[in-house]
Structure 1
């Protein structure tokens, strides 16, 4: 975690709401005290300073309500410190060392402990204790000041510790729940939910990609694998297939398990032809590297459908699913164990000739050459290099914006 992240609130929306509550309530409370409590300000300077603070709190509330995303990260880490400084100055100007004056020093500690990172919360606690020491020792006898500081300091330290521990535990629980939602336990791939979210981002109006491709892969006759070898063996086969698929596409795509034996890869910034080329490398690798379960070789094949969306067409993400699904079932109807690709217009055409070994003058001759070409294609690095050669006009691939590869 870098230094910038330490300054950021745990959750921007929550921190914004808390800040609005603290700022608005604080402004109303100070304004009410200044209006209705005769000796609150102690003098003209104190009253004027109080109204200035009320005005600043009103302005902060307005900014937080209208445009919190425009505030720099440094704002969230420095606001508690500024509140401490303002509280210190006000208490000294109004010569108020009472509980009513010191109570405002609790607010920055509560906010920092609940909304900010532990290190920032600890720093704010130290600032508050120092400010309180200045207030009480400046305005009260030493004995009474020490007693006040000990009581206030102990109470605030306990509050801060308990809140920070509670928030850390909550963060761990939320992280675990998010992991369960986003990562499939069996394969370590992303879940359908995570893929849907990534697809909405990839085809959204803010996307930087011109094209998004989707690969759907289905293990052929997977029920027969379970019936013949048992469900543990079926799970092992699925894990093996998922690992090979993820290795081939790497960080260039988000690999997910949709359910059962159906897997998917979302590939932003690449055409269907390029994605199909890499999918064919995956199919060849699976043929050469079958799963091994308890010392037994369990052979499995896959049918793959590939489709793309040109984002300029303004079509929905569901259309990409539909095209890839049609290509997948076209591969099954054609005999399985093959890669089929939908044309950019959505029609399905046999794509295996397009993504297999080079054709024409560049085609290798003889069985040995064919095996050598297949071995070249099975390497993920070679597969992407070949895909780039086949589609040299495409931009370099980019990772999913804001996303991460599960597992």
Structure 2
């Protein structure tokens, strides 16, 4: 993972809000304790602390509102600058108390909850070095070493725990995303993936976009006579054949039930029809191997193609109408519509090439 990728937060909007809250809390807590007389004793230090903390409050507001639009480097610069401010104020005000050192945890918490391992390690090291500068500047060496050991250990463990938790969450999100994109029975893409791909394809120019919808013939009979497990096996078998026939750039999808689809972006009309007929023959000559012997399978395929601007709804409706004709004409055949962009109207017959049984 590159530095730019590692510095990109898991959730830009959440990172902006987290950074804003941490900055605001640190500034407000410091201002409150300063107002209660718990701040630095000298007037110069008092003015410095008050001025810096008042200055960062508008920064917190800006981060909260607009931080999600900031470039990736912002999210590494923010905790690094925070460490510099904390260390500088501690030394300038001669404050090496436990409360002052505790603020070094804020940048580490932010980085470890939002960024990758490399920037987290860098921020943690800088926080420990910043704390070392403070304690060895203001405290006796023995006490400084003790404080640094405790604070350094705390920051390191805190960063490690948060990084591991974040990576577990990332893996879970990735797994859930993959599961949402893939049908578990057939291994084909889900309808959502197909719709997204079709929206992109239909926005492009070129040879056009083809869509075929296929339906497993007499699927209910298979379920009733051989049982639902065999029916599931039949769906998985046809899904595997469809996936094997798909090529780079095409999207094979399960729409639901025994209905599947293949989207062919950038494919011409005749090439789309050829693929459908090849798939028809492939299913017929590749029966499912069942426990009681081979189970012959056939499919009906409706094909639509557009060479101009249209919508996924129109393309799907045309392919679905062609599929209906293929089933009505006796199944185990391909029916293709006219070019959707030149179709005469919603009530006209979709068929142009006619029913084409596989050879």
TM bucket, shorter chain: 0.7 to 0.9
Classify 1:167/1:247 alpha carbon distance in 2 versus 1 (closer, same or farther; 3 Å): same
Partner of 2:168: 169
1:99-178 → structure 2 map (5 Å cutoff): 99-178=98-177
Task: Measure how far apart 1:37 and its partner are.
Answer: 4.9
Matched, 1:68 2:68: yes
Task: Measure how far apart 1:96 and its partner are.
Answer: 1.9
Partner of 2:287: 290
SS of the residue 1:339 aligns to: strand
Partner of 1:261: 258
Classify 1:302/1:98 alpha carbon distance in 2 versus 1 (closer, same or farther; 3 Å): same
User: Which among 297, 322, 325 is matched to residue 317 of structure 2?
Assistant: 322
Partner of 1:331: 326
What are the superposed Cα offsets for residues 255-282 of structure 1, whole Å, 9 maximum, x if unpaired?
Answer: 2212221112233344555433322222
Task: Measure how far apart 1:129 and its partner are.
Answer: 1.3
Contact 1:23 1:61 in 2 (8 A): no
Q: How far apart in 2 are the matches of 1:77 and 1:194?
A: 34
Moved more, 327-336 or 52-61: 52-61
Contact 1:331 1:340 in 2 (8 A): yes
Classify 1:41/1:100 alpha carbon distance in 2 versus 1 (closer, same or farther; 3 Å): farther
Q: How far apart in 2 are the matches of 1:89 and 1:202?
A: 56
Pick 1 or 2: higher relative contact order, CA cutoff 8 A, min separation 6. Answer: 1
RMSD value, Cα: 3.3
Contact 1:226 1:233 in 2 (8 A): yes
Task: Measure how far apart 1:49 and its partner are.
Answer: 7.2
Partner of 2:188: 189
SS of the residue 2:254 aligns to: strand
1:10-25 → structure 2 map (5 Å cutoff): 10-25=10-25
Taking structure 2 as the reference length, the TM-score comes to: 0.83
Partner of 1:280: 277
1:237-248 → structure 2 map (5 Å cutoff): 237-248=234-245
Partner of 1:404: none
Task: Measure how far apart 1:240 and its partner are.
Answer: 2.1
- Structure 2: state its 5+ residue gaps: none
Task: Measure how far apart 1:150 and its partner are.
Answer: 2.1
SS of the residue 2:294 aligns to: strand
SS of the residue 1:148 aligns to: helix
What are the superposed Cα offsets for residues 278-316 of structure 1, whole Å, 9 maximum, x if unpaired?
Answer: 222222222333333348332211111223456745x4x
Contact 2:28 2:53 in 1 (8 A): no
Task: Measure how far apart 1:132 and its partner are.
Answer: 0.9
What are the superposed Cα offsets for residues 58-95 of structure 1, whole Å, 9 maximum, x if unpaired?
Answer: 346425523623x2222223322222222222222222
Partner of 1:44: 44
* Aligned residues between the structures: 351
Classify 1:245/1:73 alpha carbon distance in 2 versus 1 (closer, same or farther; 3 Å): same
Task: Measure how far apart 1:209 and its partner are.
Answer: 5.4
Contact 1:254 1:267 in 2 (8 A): yes
Q: How far apart in 2 are the matches of 1:61 and 1:48?
A: 21
Q: How far apart in 1 are the matches of 2:132 and 2:355?
A: 80
Task: Measure how far apart 1:218 and its partner are.
Answer: 0.9
Partner of 1:377: none
Classify 1:269/1:61 alpha carbon distance in 2 versus 1 (closer, same or farther; 3 Å): farther
Contact 2:289 2:295 in 1 (8 A): yes
Partner of 1:83: 82
What are the superposed Cα offsets for residues 2-40 of structure 1, whole Å, 9 maximum, x if unpaired?
Answer: 554323222223222212322343444455566665844
Moved more, 85-94 or 132-141: 85-94
Moved more, 194-203 or 85-94: 194-203
